[in-house]
Amino acid sequence: MPPEERYEVHIVGFANDVARARVLEQLGLLGNLQREPECFVVASCRSRDEAEQEQQRWRRLGAHVRIVAPASPSPAEPLGKETPPRSLARATLRALAIGSLAGVAAWWLGERAMPRGVWKLPGKVDASRSLSHRASLDKTSNPPVWATTIPNDIHSDEAARLNNEGVAAAERKEWMAAAEHLRAALRLAPAATGIQRNLQQVLLGWGVDALRSGDVGTAVDRLEEARRLGPDAQVFLWLGYAFQQQGDLGKAQAAWEAGLEQFPEQPDLLLALGELWERRDQREKALDYFSRARAAGIDGPELQRKMERLGRELDAEWEYLLTRSARFDVRHPESEPSRTIEFVLANFEAAYDHLLQLLGVGPTPPISVVLYPKEQFHAVTQSPDWAGGVFSGRIQLPVGGLNEGNRLQLQRVARHELAHALVSEWSRRRAPAWLQEGMAMWCEDDHPGERSDWALSRRSADPSIRLADLPASFALLGPAEAEAAYASSYLAVLHLAEHYGPRKLLELLRASAQQDFSTAFRETFGQDLKDFAEAF
């Protein structure tokens, strides 16, 4: 008999000192601890349900809790684990649709009208680049394994021939031909699991390629068909991404959860769900999925940083209050005077109206805003001293000394960050840094273009900075270069808005959510991105 499987419940941290004391007291350890261990194992449960109840109980006391599942048996996979679509999936997992963007806007409290900033982590926006880069690794790193055994029956010779032709086409990535052969083979030998599996892997590869080239509809169709051929973790994963790309987070969630039911500790699915809950602003749930993903084997500095950030945010915001306005959910310390919160909310509502006037749309409410005491803001967001706001899926701001005296600065920051929220939503986080920052700056203006003189002089001060070769992250640039990068981005967006109108900018954002950016640009403006970028 196999050893009994148990789910362990670990306490890995505390929201704050009060919570720590509360929890240690419950454990009978308060005052009895020589040295605090890295984690406390507080329960060992027979089922996940039971473990989740334990988890809830400790969380209510302010503990950070994770569930460590028993090592799950690997699912039956007659054809071997490594298949070409699988390696592709691995390669692109982090690149596609899950990158969390963090824009940081400068908020000059002095006389400087020009916000500056750094752009964090946008390297993850461009799925296509890393895809094409990794795709070439397929053949060397993960040789495909295809089934060739066909059951002995009256049609077996013909089925085997069709199967082999399908496999040969699949190896050339001729997905349509491969699928046709394999479907025909399957009609002759419907019970042949090997053929089913081959067809499923072909449909998976086809779906992933379609998604990669922006053809989301085809991707969904192929991946749905693949799902009907039996449970496969990568099919669930990519189907979820395809739904997410379509903007249907509910369906994405359902696909990933269905996948987890079949493959309970599949790290990619856990990671995808963590990202999804983070986007929905359910940080505790997100952190839990990320912990499980790490326990299941995904690791690396990026996940580490993300978990640390979420941990810092949860700690800092543990006892924050929530205040709502028509379009905003604002979290803030209880100690913050209500007139400050009202002042911030009024400015954000006004900034939203400004976006409506300018573009006719704003980001979908409710928009999440978090206000931190100034010192805590920099500690939580790890932003530089001059940063006046951060957009990381929600808007984070310092509130030290906010009052009428700096209304103008707050107005600029509010417009800038709201524009980030809009660009992120409409482009599904796939717009390049220059478009994100350029639009954010353009939306700050009372009169569009009011800073073009400034921008022109900045740009000519550093002619080496060109839009065409701006790095994915402005944070890598020195201060003068960064200023020139922002200036170029602003001028580029200003040009597009003046020549084509703001509606076209929105069209570009929508298009870039669906396909690679240079295609989206050409389709929107009938102009080559390279040629356009040369001028800036």
- In 3D space, the residue among 336, 318, 409 whose CA is nearest the CA of residue 373 turns out to be 336
Rounded to the nearest whole angstrom, what is the least distance from the CB of residue 358 to Zn ion in the complex? 16
Window of 110-118, 192-200, 378-386, 482-490 that interacts with Zn ion by CB under 5 A: 110-118
Tell me whether residue 380 or residue 440 sits nearer to Zn ion (CB atom): 440
Q: Which of 62, 85, 117, 144 binds Zn ion (CB under 5 A)?
A: 117
**Comparison of 106 and 287: residue with beta carbon closer to Zn ion:** 106
Stretch that binds Zn ion, among 43-51, 104-112, 322-330, 351-359 (CB under 5 A): 104-112
Q: Is the dihedral of CA 279, 281, 285, 290 positive or negative?
A: positive
User: Would you say 54 or 444 has its CB closer to Zn ion?
Assistant: 444
Measured from the CB atom, the residue of 85 and 103 that comes closer to Zn ion is 103
CA–CA dist 198, 160 (Å, integer): 12
Whose Cβ is closer to Zn ion: residue 125's or residue 440's?
440
The helix (run of H) or strand (run of E) holding residue 387 is strand 387-391
Stretch that binds Zn ion, among 73-81, 115-123, 251-259, 459-467 (CB under 5 A): 115-123
Q: Closest distance between Zn ion and the C-beta of residue 438, in Å? A: 10
Task: State residue 277 phi and psi, 5-degree precision.
Answer: -70, -30
Stretch that binds Zn ion, among 32-40, 103-111, 183-191, 499-507 (CB under 5 A): 103-111
Q: Of 24-32, 98-106, 354-362, 401-409, which part binds Zn ion (CB under 5 A)?
A: 98-106
Task: Please state the φ and ψ torsions of residue 353, each to the nearest 5 degrees.
Answer: -60, -35
Listing DSSP states for 190-224 in one string gives: TT-HHHHHHHHHHHHHHHHHHHHTT-HHHHHHHHH
- Residue 485 has, within 13 A of its CA and on its CB side, a CA count of 25
8 A C-beta contact, residue 125 and residue 101:
yes
Please report, as residue ranges, which positions from 465 to 494 form the binding site for Zn ion (by CB under 5 A): none
Which runs of consecutive H residues, i.e. helices, occur in 42-155?
48-60, 84-92, 127-135, 138-141
Contact 447, 496 (CB under 8 A): no
Beta-bridge mates of residue 371: 397
As measured in angstroms, the least distance from the Cβ of 398 to Zn ion is: 15
**Least distance to Zn ion, CB of residue 390, Å:** 9
Which contacts qualify for 378-386: CB closer than 8 Å, 24 or more apart?
Answer: 379/312, 379/316, 380/309, 380/312, 380/313, 380/316, 381/102, 381/104, 382/309, 383/104, 384/104, 384/118, 386/106, 386/107, 386/108, 386/116
| Residue number of the CB atom closest to Zn ion | 103
Nearer to Zn ion, 170 or 397 (CB): 397
Residue 438 burial by Cβ neighbours in a 10 Å radius (0-12, 13-18, 19+): buried
Q: Is residue 121 a contact point for Zn ion (CB under 5 A)?
A: no
Residue 152 backbone zone (phi > 0: left; psi -120 to 50: alpha; other: beta): beta
Question: Quick one: 159 or 455, whose CB is closer to Zn ion?
Answer: 455
Contacting residue, 63, 67, 96, 105, with Zn ion by CB under 5 A: 105
Closest distance of CB 104 from Zn ion, Å:
6
Nearer to Zn ion, 237 or 492 (CB): 492
Least spacing, CB of residue 532 vs Zn ion, in Å = 21
> Of 117 and 207, which has the nearer Cβ to Zn ion?
117
Tell me, residue by residue from 159 to 198, as one string, x for binding to Zn ion by CB under 5 A and - for no binding. ----------------------------------------
Residue whose entry in the numeric block shows the structure tokens 């809009």: 422
Tell me the window of 31-39, 114-122, 240-248, 452-460 that interacts with Zn ion (CB under 5 A): 114-122
Q: Out of 99, 103, 207, 240, which residue is the one contacting Zn ion (CB under 5 A)?
A: 103
Stretch that binds Zn ion, among 109-117, 214-222, 250-258, 473-481 (CB under 5 A): 109-117
Measured from the CB atom, the residue of 103 and 214 that comes closer to Zn ion is 103
Q: Per residue in 367-402, is it b (16+ CB within 10 Å) or e — as a string?
A: bbbbbbbeebbeebbbbeebbbbbbbbbbbbbbeeb
CB of 392 to Zn ion, least distance (A): 11
Listing from the earlier edge strand, what are the strands of the sheet with 102-106? 119-120, 102-106, 387-391, 395-398, 367-372, 328-332, 321-324
Nearer to Zn ion, 386 or 525 (CB): 386
Of residues 387 through 446, those in contact with Zn ion by CB under 5 A are 437, 440
- Give the interface with Zn ion as residue ranges (CB under 5 A): 103, 105, 117, 437, 440
